[in-house]
């Protein structure tokens, strides 16, 4: 048989009708209600007294409500995990599509956006973050084709890539890096 403990004083605020029935029962049996903190109820016993049957029903109802709450919490936790996984997959698809780089700066910006808006990662919230941060995200370098049909070199081309490159590719790279060009500088001097 399963015995369950019930805090009688807690029943005063949560179940005042049941509390009053139990106080009356204690008084009938010569028990001082002030000395009783907890009551034990046998869940499998068939009580003759209505107050004890009501207490059994209360305990069963509370146990069922607790079980339902736990199931709801577990479903919510699973939904959050599923949303997070879907957000990660969406992020990777955006990276593969060339929308942005998968860099620490981009990840930090998206996390900061979600935190600032008090949101958890999901496909919808990542979409909103990417739209809001579109101008500030690091994007992959788009390489074009030179007039002679060769592909452009990336601006961070390695030495070995540059050794294999043609003169046209190297000139294009140099121009895109602004090599050999003086940049205008300001002057703080002047005549008065």
Tell me the HSE value of 75 on the side-chain side, using a 13 A CA sphere.
Answer: 6
Range of the domain at 173: 141-180
Final residue before a domain boundary, out of 51, 70, 89 = 70
- Domain-located, residue 189: no
Over residues 36-62, mean pLDDT: 90
Residues 10 and 65 in one domain: yes
pLDDT at 187: 58
Q: How many CB atoms lie within 10 A of CB 83?
A: 17
Residues 123 and 87 in one domain: yes
Residues 14 and 65 in one domain: yes
Residues 59 and 109 in one domain: no
Q: Per the structure block, which two tokens stand in for 26?
A: 């204690």
What's the total number of domains in the chain? 3
Residue with tokens 């009580």: 47
Over residues 65-81, mean pLDDT: 96
- Domain-located, residue 115: yes
H-type alpha helices, 41-157: 50-96, 104-116, 123-132
Please say whether the beta carbons of 139 and 103 come within 8 A: no
Over residues 19-23, mean pLDDT: 91
Please say whether the beta carbons of 129 and 113 come within 8 A: yes
How far is 106 from 22, CA to CA, in rounded Å? 63
Residues 7 and 62 in one domain: yes
- Domain-located, residue 192: no
How does pLDDT run across 74-100, given as a tens digit for each residue?
999 999 999 999 999 999 999 998 889
Final residue before a domain boundary, out of 53, 70, 87 = 70
Task: For Cα atoms 20, 22, 26, give the angle at the middle one, nearest 5 degrees.
Answer: 115
- Domain-located, residue 187: no
Final residue before a domain boundary, out of 70, 96, 113 = 70
Residues 66 and 82 in one domain: no
pLDDT at 190: 54
- Domain-located, residue 191: no
Residues 11 and 63 in one domain: yes
3-state secondary structure of 38: strand
pLDDT at 173: 84
Residues 94 and 63 in one domain: no
Residues 7 and 66 in one domain: yes
Q: Label residue 158 exposed, middle or buried (CB < 10 Å: 0-12, 13-18, 19+).
A: exposed
Higher pLDDT, 124 or 141: 124
Instruction: Tell me the C-alpha to C-alpha distance, in Å, between residue 181 and each of 14, 116, 168, 176, 177.
Output: 81, 42, 18, 11, 9
pLDDT at 184: 58
Element (DSSP H or E) covering residue 164: helix 159-164
Quick check: 27 pLDDT over 70?
yes
- Domain-located, residue 188: no
Please say whether the beta carbons of 165 and 157 come within 8 A: yes
Instruction: Tell me the C-alpha to C-alpha distance, in Å, between residue 64 and each of 69, 71, 149.
Output: 9, 11, 73
How far is 50 from 127, CA to CA, in rounded Å? 59
How does pLDDT run across 134-191, given as a tens digit for each residue?
899 988 877 888 899 988 888 888 889 889 989 988 888 888 877 766 655 655 555 5
């Amino acid at each position: 048989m399963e015995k369950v403990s019930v805090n009688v004083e807690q029943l005063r605020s949560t179940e005042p009708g049941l509390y009053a029935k139990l106080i009356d029962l204690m008084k009938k049996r010569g028990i001082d209600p002030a000395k009783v903190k907890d009551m034990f109820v046998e869940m499998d016993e068939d009580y003759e007294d209505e107050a004890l049957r009501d207490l059994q029903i209360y305990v069963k109802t509370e146990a069922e409500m607790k079980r339902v709450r736990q199931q709801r919490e577990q479903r919510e936790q699973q939904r959050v995990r599923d949303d997070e996984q879907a957000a990660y997959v969406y992020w990777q698809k955006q990276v593969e599509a060339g929308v942005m780089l998968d860099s620490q700066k981009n990840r930090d910006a998206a996390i900061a956006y979600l935190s600032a808006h008090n949101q958890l990662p999901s496909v919808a919230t990542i979409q909103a973050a990417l739209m809001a941060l579109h101008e500030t995200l690091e994007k992959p370098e788009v390489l074009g084709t030179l007039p002679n049909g060769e592909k452009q070199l990336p601006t961070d081309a390695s030495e070995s890539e540059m050794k294999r490159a043609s003169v046209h590719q190297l000139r294009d790279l140099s121009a895109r890096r602004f090599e050999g060009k003086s940049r205008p500088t300001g002057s703080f001097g002047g005549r008065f």
